[in-house]
Structure 1
């Protein structure tokens, strides 16, 4: 009998397998072996590895957009505070969930046309959260940038690269990353915080990044279509 745990276990196995071998290098049999399930059990939930990849990436982007928006909206109207919590939240997400982040960075373009179109819209939605906050600061004169879109892409490009190099066994902790990337991002926007201001910004509350683990492994309802 099919179970939610079976679906979650397959998504967990797909995430590990895609991160290890890449989408092209992974087979449906590899995923089944990692999950400890038969091929028939895997096919019950996912007719192809394309379907598993799409659900993994869809879950990741959907959750990120929901929680990033909630993080920003829980803060007041100050653009400096709003972009700071957004950067910090994204740094924690990328550094704590490196496997799925690497899959997104490397394998999104391996999706078929229909799935890729769906994910592109989710990518745009998450990018617009950043662009909207940067535009608030630009319009109010707090951030000295000509294009909120370009500035937000620049911030995202450096933050999204964290899972390509970061290791918890290295010289930097996640708290170190949070501090440095918040400072980098604000300087990119022509706002250079002193240590006291940076400490205050780092003390602002965030959404719980660890809450993503259930969504990541498919305990949420599967996507349709």
Structure 2
């Protein structure tokens, strides 16, 4: 697994005017000041655009936050799903690679992962429901793997649903303490958490190799 900068840009420019710049600026503002502390003016300034133009794209901070979190989960879901599909049929291999992908995402996009944990509380109504549904779709990948492994005897845990939730929580929590330049590289950190996950589901030692 190649190491990548934790400051990688989450939202690529797809040619839709200032949208990508606005969303990346919003993510930076939310990460630095929190949802309540950041202003639409901060976002406009960070995106290099006017406040009136910003409102042409997003009518409120909550719309901005919801879209940022949706884009972040889309990236996480895509990485995790791809890793699982390429891992083969064994549940242990699928779980290991899903965790590696999740932790890799958190390291690459630490601010997005942290904002997803800390700022979703400020969303409500349809916006919150959509973000939660997207988040649940990623968690479902882990739930399906662990349930399958428990069902066929690869995993010995009697609590597959709880184990899956714990694994997802463990991976997302990396965003709260990870520091670039620490003793573990991106790949080493992902591998360590993969081993934690396999131990949590009580996989045989062979699955930890």
Same fold (TM over 0.5): yes
CA spacing shift, 1:192–1:178, aligned 2, 3 Å: farther
- 2:73 pairs, out of 61, 64, 69, with 61
Question: Tell me, which stretches of 5 or more residues in structure 1 are unaligned?
Answer: 199-225
Q: Note if contact 1:143-1:190 (Cα within 8 Å) is conserved in structure 2.
A: yes
Matches within 5 A, 1:1-225: 4-191=16-203, 193=205, 198=209
For these two proteins, the number of residue pairs brought into alignment is 195
More relative contact order, 1 or 2 (CA 8 Å, 6+ apart): 1
- How far apart are 1:153 and its partner, in Å? 0.7
TM-score by length of 1: 0.82
- 1:164-191 per-residue CA deviation (whole Å, 9 max, x = no partner) reads 1111122221122012111111111112
- 1:135-181 per-residue CA deviation (whole Å, 9 max, x = no partner) reads 11100111011222100111111111111111112222112201211
Q: Secondary structure at the match of 1:139?
A: helix
Question: Tell me, which stretches of 5 or more residues in structure 2 are unaligned?
Answer: 1-14
TM-score by length of 2: 0.88
- How far apart are 1:51 and its partner, in Å? 1.0
Q: CA RMSD in A?
A: 1.6
- How far apart are 1:23 and its partner, in Å? 0.4
- 1:20-57 per-residue CA deviation (whole Å, 9 max, x = no partner) reads 00101111111111112110111111111111111111
CA spacing shift, 1:157–1:197, aligned 2, 3 Å: closer
CA spacing shift, 1:52–1:109, aligned 2, 3 Å: same
